[in-house]
């Protein structure tokens, strides 16, 4: 159990949350939600102890807490298997001290007694099964057994993240605190993690922008809104429904009160100077009793995303023949043929590092193939959202000025309206580009795509920095687009809602499945990689 009592956190004059009191009970799995900038990661760091509250509020934690580290390079000099075992701090410290004592050729009586104590600690922490259990988790998240004794420095950044996730899961923690655990995970690894967490019996608090993941895992949602945290029973979709219903009920009650107050005020105005003083006084007391419920402005906001095309592409949007690409001995795809017709929406899925981005770059001419041809049909012009968009937005400008570079005819008011629809209202349009958050940069790039009305939209991992409501808005916008869509994503709800065709990188090669994602999964089920957790 984790107990938070009267915690406030503010940055300068910006209050993220105030006097929060909440308990995360054992056996419950809580999704910590809220839009970008609401304070989710800040609150998570208060739970871990990395940050202190701004007031004298307190946080009570159990002895063993698994925390997902965000520093992928902190363990580069450690073996992969050891990095996982280090998630159980008491066990790792005991093993290190025991090994150091065992290296001595002679021991004092005190050292012998200490060795006995250390062996007891290791036994109590199930240390004799540590490498086996750590290995099971590693295999479950996609790191094969032959790599477990290698150094962390040999792994790519996304696989280092997976090891840190395994570290948090290891050692039977009483509580788990996971900030964006699905980052860098492919679909089948996310599926493994969902099953693993659903078996977990401690207190889980998780931040994720993956709606499907939250709906699959969470029994409760702790939502940061109105400068506090409100706990709802159920998954994310349940929370949204409860929140809408609660606000609608208050709004309806306020309308009824306002109507009644207006009637009472009319009576008071008519008879205040007359002979009905007692009735007037009674009406005044009734007006005071019928106070309108104060409704703070909710910080949940959804952008309005709609893509348009000035003119449609030809019937045959894209024709690919014999496309082949390798890096060294690794063949990404070979002799691949593809024909895409106008209006088709294609999702490209598969594990990390298999070639999804390389395929996109070959299609748009940014990466030359080893063999084969790519031919775009008549009018096949495209908008491209790259996975790494670090250098896409020019620094030293305002958001308004940057987007104005792509305006053609309609002027500044049109751009301000577009920025407003993408949640840059008022002075937010004048934010300096170098100060934009990851989510704000993502929305700016999507605004540019909305402004440049091409018949083909190509997106590589567009959900990485978007909050849940923005991801939903993006899915709606792509589904309503009459042109062609190519999207690389691990977000299952986005893929399910948008795609009419799947290009899947599988162990058998690159598969062209002409149908939606749900039908693809039925014919190509995810592999079982479930580790046996001992909670």
Residue where the block lists tokens 């409760």: 220
Tokens of 122: 């290791």
Decide whether 1-63+174-255 matches 316-393+436-523 in CATH topology: yes
Write out the H or E segment, with its range, that includes residue 14.
strand 14-24
CA distance linking residue 369 with residue 163, whole number of Å: 33
The predicted pLDDT at position 533 comes to 46
Kindly give the pairing relationship between strand 484-488 and strand 501-506. unpaired
User: Would you kindly state where each structural domain of the chain is located, as residue ranges?
Assistant: 1-63+174-255, 77-171, 316-393+436-523
Q: Which fold has domain 316-393+436-523?
A: Rossmann fold (3.40.50)
Q: Considering only CA atoms, which of 466, 511, 454 is closest in space to residue 209?
A: 466
Q: What is the pTM of this model?
A: 0.74
What is the C-alpha to C-alpha distance for residues 190 and 429, in angstroms, rounded to an integer?
A: 36
Burial 215-240 (b: 16+ CB within 10 A, else e): bbbbbbbbbbbebbbbebeebbebbb
pLDDT recorded at residue 535: 44
The pLDDT of residue 298? 59
* Span 1-63+174-255 CATH architecture: 3-Layer(aba) Sandwich (3.40)
Q: What is the pLDDT of residue 281?
A: 84
Judge whether 32 and 44 are in contact, CB under 8 Å: yes
| Dist CA 437 CA 415 (whole Å) | 20
Exposure class string for 26-41: b at 16+ Cβ within 10 A, else e: eebbbbbbbbbebbbe
What CA–CA distance (Å, rounded) separates 151 from 159?
12
In whole angstroms, give the CA distance from residue 362 to residue 193: 32
Residues 233, 237, 240, 244, CA torsion sign: negative
pLDDT in single tens digits along all 535 residues of the chain: 999 999 999 877 778 898 999 999 999 999 999 877 788 889 999 999 999 998 889 999 998 999 998 888 889 999 999 999 999 999 999 999 999 999 988 889 999 999 999 999 999 999 999 999 999 999 888 889 999 999 999 998 878 988 999 999 998 899 999 998 987 788 878 888 898 899 999 999 999 988 899 999 999 999 988 788 999 999 998 988 887 777 677 777 778 888 888 888 888 888 877 767 788 888 888 888 877 766 565 556 789 999 999 888 889 999 999 999 999 889 999 999 999 999 999 999 988 788 999 999 999 999 999 999 999 998 889 999 998 877 889 999 999 999 998 877 778 888 999 999 999 988 889 999 988 888 889 999 999 999 999 999 999 999 888 888 899 999 999 999 999 999 999 888 999 999 999 999 988 889 999 999 999 988 877 655 554 444 4
In this prediction, residue 300 carries a pLDDT of 65
């Amino acid at each position: 159990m984790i107990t938070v009592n009267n915690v406030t956190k503010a940055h300068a004059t910006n209050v993220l949350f105030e006097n929060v009191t909440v308990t995360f009970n054992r056996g419950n799995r809580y999704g910590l939600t809220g839009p970008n900038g609401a304070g989710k990661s800040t609150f998570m760091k208060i739970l871990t102890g990395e940050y202190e509250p701004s007031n004298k509020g307190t946080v009570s934690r159990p002895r063993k807490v698994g925390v997902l580290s965000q520093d992928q390079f902190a363990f580069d000099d450690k073996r992969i298997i050891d990095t996982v075992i280090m998630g159980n701090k008491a066990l790792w410290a005991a093993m290190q001290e025991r090994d150091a004592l065992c290296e001595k050729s002679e021991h004092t009586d005190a050292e012998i007694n200490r060795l006995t104590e250390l062996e007891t600690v290791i036994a109590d922490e199930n240390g004799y099964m540590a490498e086996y259990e750590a290995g099971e988790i590693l295999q479950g998240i996609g790191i094969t057994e032959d790599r477990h004794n290698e150094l962390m420095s040999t792994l790519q950044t996304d696989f280092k993240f997976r090891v840190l996730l395994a570290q948090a899961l290891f050692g039977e923690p009483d509580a788990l605190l996971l900030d964006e655990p699905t980052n860098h995970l492919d679909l089948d690894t996310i599926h493994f993690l969902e099953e693993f967490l659903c078996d977990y019996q401690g207190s889980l608090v998780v931040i994720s922008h993956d709606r499907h993941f939250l709906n699959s895992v969470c029994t409760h949602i702790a939502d940061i809104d109105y400068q506090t945290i409100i706990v709802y029973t159920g998954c994310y979709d349940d929370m949204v429904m409860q929140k809408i219903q609660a606000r609608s009920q208050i709004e309806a009650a306020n309308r009824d009160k306002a109507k009644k107050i207006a009637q009472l005020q009319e009576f008071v105005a008519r008879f205040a100077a007359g002979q009905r003083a007692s009735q007037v006084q009674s009406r005044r007391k009734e007006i005071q009793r019928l106070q309108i419920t104060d409704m703070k402005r909710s910080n949940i906001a959804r952008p309005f995303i709609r893509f348009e095309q000035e003119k449609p592409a030809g019937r045959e949007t894209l024709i690919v023949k014999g496309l082949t690409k390798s890096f060294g001995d690794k063949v990404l795809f070979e002799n691949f043929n593809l024909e895409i017709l106008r209006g088709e929406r294609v999702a490209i899925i598969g594990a990390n590092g298999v070639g999804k981005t390389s395929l996109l770059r070959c299609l748009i001419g940014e990466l030359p193939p080893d063999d084969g041809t790519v031919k775009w049909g008549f009018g096949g012009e495209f908008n491209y959202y790259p996975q790494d968009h670090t250098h896409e937005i020019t620094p030293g400008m305002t958001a308004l000025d940057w987007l104005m570079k792509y305006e053609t005819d309609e002027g500044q008011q049109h751009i301000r309206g577009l920025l407003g629809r993408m949640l840059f209202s008022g002075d937010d349009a004048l934010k300096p580009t170098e100060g934009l958050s990851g989510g704000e940069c993502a929305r700016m790039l999507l605004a540019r795509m909305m402004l440049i009305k091409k018949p083909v939209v190509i997106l590589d991992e567009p959900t990485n920095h978007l909050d849940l409501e923005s991801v939903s808005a993006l899915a709606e916008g792509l589904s309503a687009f009459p042109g062609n869509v190519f999207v690389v994503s691990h977000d299952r709800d986005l893929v399910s809602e948008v795609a009419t065709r799947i290009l899947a990188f599988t162990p058998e090669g690159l598969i062209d499945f002409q149908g939606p994602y749900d039908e693809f999964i039925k014919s190509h089920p995810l592999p079982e990689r479930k580790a046996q957790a001992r909670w």
